Structure 1
């Protein structure tokens, strides 16, 4: 007959369960933030929507881009949006 082993204290089960939950939440958060970044990086209309509704997010996007090396994205978007605004008003 196998000897009985004592169960782990309940605090350790709580810590393990919490760590697993935290890991899953972090993975979901990372995937969501990467999805938003990818969409902002590839879709100018989405950047315009973000600019209209959440301008601070777009400002951080441009700052990160300037640190990485794409310093002309802000100006290119501003030029495009101003030219399309002129076309719409005509």
Structure 2
């Protein structure tokens, strides 16, 4: 019995699927890391507020929709009292 190699397109499909899965896993890990840091550190939220405002706005709006958090108001109050904004 003679073994024939896989056709080239099957190898490329497999490699492409693996690359897509790996890129998606890395993206999810990075997203979770940023969310975790936003969720636990007011200083990081301030940094993101000053530099990447759209990320913090998304974080605040998601929190307000899902759990009725008042994090935005509290953060702004604390930052104004401390003179950071």
After TM superposition, the runs of 4+ consecutive aligned structure 1 residues lying more than 4 A away are none
Q: CA deviation at 1:51?
A: 0.3
Give the 3-state SS of the residue equivalent to 2:3 in structure 1.
coil
Q: Which of 70, 76, 79 is equivalent to 1:78?
A: 76
**Cα RMSD between the aligned structures?**
1.2
Match of 1:12 in 2: 10
Q: CA deviation at 1:4?
A: 1.1
Gapped runs of 5+ residues in structure 2?
none
Q: CA deviation at 1:6?
A: 2.2
Structure 2 CA distance, aligned partners of 1:50 and 1:38? Answer: 13
Structure number with bigger Rg: 1
Structure 1 CA distance, aligned partners of 2:29 and 2:70? Answer: 27
Work out the number of aligned pairs and report it.
84
Matched, 1:68 2:63: no
Structure 1 CA distance, aligned partners of 2:75 and 2:68? Answer: 12
CA deviation profile, 1:27-58 (whole Å, cap 9, x unmatched): 11110110010000000000000000011110
